[in-house]
Structures are given as structure tokens and as C-alpha cells.
Homo-oligomer: A and B are copies of this chain.
Amino acid sequence: MAGNSFGKLFKITTFGESHGVAIGVIIDGCPAGLTIDLDFIQSELDKRRPGQSKITTQRKESDTVQILSGTFEGKSTGTPISLLIPNEDQRSKDYGHNVDVYRPSHADYTYDAKYGIRDHRGGGRSSARETAARVASGAIAKLLLKEFEIEIFAHVTSVGAIVAPNLDSNDVLSLLEKREENIVRCADPATANQMIDFIDSVRKDGDTVGGKVGCIIKNCPVGLGEPVFDKLHADLGKAMLSINAVHGFEYGSGFAGSEMRGSEHNDIFLAGDQPKTLTNFSGGIQGGIANGMDINFVVAFKPVATIMHNQQTINSAGEAAEIKGKGRHDPCVVPRAVIIVEAMVALVLADHLLRNKVVRI
């Protein structure tokens, strides 16, 4: 109820604070018999890891994951899989000056107001460090999806006002490779260079900037998604909005669809063995249920709140105070967020895959 779990049948529960002993996650409901490739899990974490390039936070964390339970001789056993990531570089001193001062557009004030107590070191539980647990468990979800040949491809589509050209969805695998060839994870190399330069200049200003991440899901089985409240796009939307700094979500025609007429928006079915549609304004989902076309959506991230400027604020007594930017933070979250988006998508799909196993006698 306290909201640290996600999923119903493939269910994760994350725990841990930014500057505590460790963070981690339990997966309850991973089917038995799945080969658990620890190297793959680690490689996913490495893509999210801080300090991976000049445009990410310089906090040093190896983010080495351990499996504590739920596997035997390399396979899942159907019992809870527990993954632990010890915290290493906990420079809590960086936060000593903030004990009593509320950082603007952070969760300091709201946590205090809600709980009356708060682990102030590095944002505690509100830190995006929690997403490492999502990426670790999402990697196991991806291993499950691979058995069904489902592929998830997230990539940076904009940084500030720099927007990547639409990508050719027919060539996702080669684009995916291109994405990993640049540190901003944009599928278009030329735009990637612009984005990197821009983020670097923002960083030198002591400032931050927002951006967008697009995502395409290929080979999603027809029928995933529940028709009323747990529509596939509703669960994807919630998953995205639960990621730190996300302020918007749209799928298929999205916000632009609100300006269209039905006669242009309707996706005409084409005859054939498996129904396809001529257009895909539905974004691969109709009535909340996957129709076999590519699923696509976009996620908007606000700029990181921690900047290296002096800012006016208040303290916990409600008095005026000044805050100086310290700590090590990302000038733009989207390069690392790409991996978090994919992990959350994998968790949503793994859950709906299992849920779909029980809809017919």
C-alpha cells in the first residue's frame, strides 16, 4: 500500500536509500525455469551507472549486483529473486549543509510534511538511485521477454529544443546499435553530437536541461493488456510517470491526435493472416489491448532540480534561507533514463504476459 511494489503477477518491491547500506529489489512471481544471466543484468546496470561519461553525474558507483535468492544452478526456481546493490561512494558530507534546508523542486519538503522524518542524505528514498533496482529487476523481465522475442527500444528524441529526426521503425536493430555508439543514446549520430555539446555547455553553466525519450516495442503479442483500468497504455503511462522527473506521457498519436478528425485518425485494417493496420495512430494498442502493431510512446523529462547556482529557499522552520548547489548530479537525465524506461517497459510487459495466461479456460 505504501507503493514500493510494481506489477501484480511479475511483482517487484524495491528498497533502499541513496546513502544507506544498499539498495535492492525482490521479484516475486518470476516463472520457474528461466535462465538468469547475471552478466546481462550487470550490463544493463552498467548502462545506467553514474560516472559513465562526461555528461552524467560523476558519483562513482560500480553498481555491482548480487543475487541472494531465487535461482539454482543458473535458473529461476519460482521463488522470490532478491537482488542487492551495495552503495559504495556515499559522500554524505556533501549533504550536511542541507539537513534543514529545503532544496527547490526536490522532495525534501514533501517528505518532511508527509512522514515527519527524512533521511536527508542525497535525497534518501526520493533519489533516482532507486531506479538501479528497477533496472536490475527489469533486466530479468527482459530475459523473460526474450523467450517471446519481444524487443524494447528506447532512445533520446530530444534534449532541450534539439530534436532528433523521426527514426525508421523498420530498422530498429541497427538503430539500437547506433544508439549505444554515442553517450547521449540518440539513434541519430548527427543529432547526438549536437545534444552532447549542448549538455556539456549546460553543465559548464552549472545548469541542467530537460529532454524526451521515445520508445518502440516490437513483437508485443496480440492480446496483452486488460480492457478497463489496466489498459496496456495506462500501465505503461503509470510506469513512466513513476520515474523521477517525468512530467508527460503520450502514445500513438498522442497530444497531436487531439487535433485530428476520426476520418484521418482511424487505422484501417488490412486483410491478411494476421491483421495489420495501414496507419498506426493507435500506437499498437486498441481498447487497452495490444493489436500486434509496434507500440510507441514518448516520455517528457523536466530538467534536474539540482543546479550549481545559489538559490533562495526556506528551511524546515519556514524561514528564508539560501542554498548553494553541491553534490554530483546529472546535467540532463535522458541519456541514463533510456535504460530506466526500457526496464519499466519490460516490467509492465512481463506482468501482462503472465496476466494474459489466465484469461481463457
Contacts and interface: CB of A to CB of B under 8 A. Distances in A.
Given A109-B291, A242-B231, A289-B114, A1 B250 contact: no
A97 interface: no
Interface residues of A, number: 150
B116 A31 contact: no
B360 A262 contact: no
Given A69-B16, A358-B357, A223 B110 contact: yes
Interface string A187-212: 00000000000000010000111111
A150 interface: no
Contacts of A81: 15
A328 interface: no
Interface string A247-276: 111111111011111110111111111110
Interface string A58-84: 000000001111101001111111101
Interface string A276-312: 0100011100111111100000001111111101011
A247 B254 contact: yes
Given A125-B227, A267-B104, A283 B247 contact: yes
A28 B16 contact: no
Contact of A302 (B249, B253, B311): B253
Interface of A: 1-6, 8-9, 11, 13-17, 20-24, 26, 28-29, 31-34, 66-70, 72, 75-82, 84, 102, 104-107, 109-111, 113-119, 124-126, 130, 144, 147, 158, 160-161, 202, 207-212, 222-223, 225-231, 233-235, 237-238, 241-242, 247-255, 257-263, 265-275, 277, 281-283, 286-292, 300-307, 309, 311-314, 318-320, 354-361
Given A113-B292, A161-B259, 6 more contacts: A15-B28, A26-B26, A208-B261, A235-B238, A262-B304, A265-B305
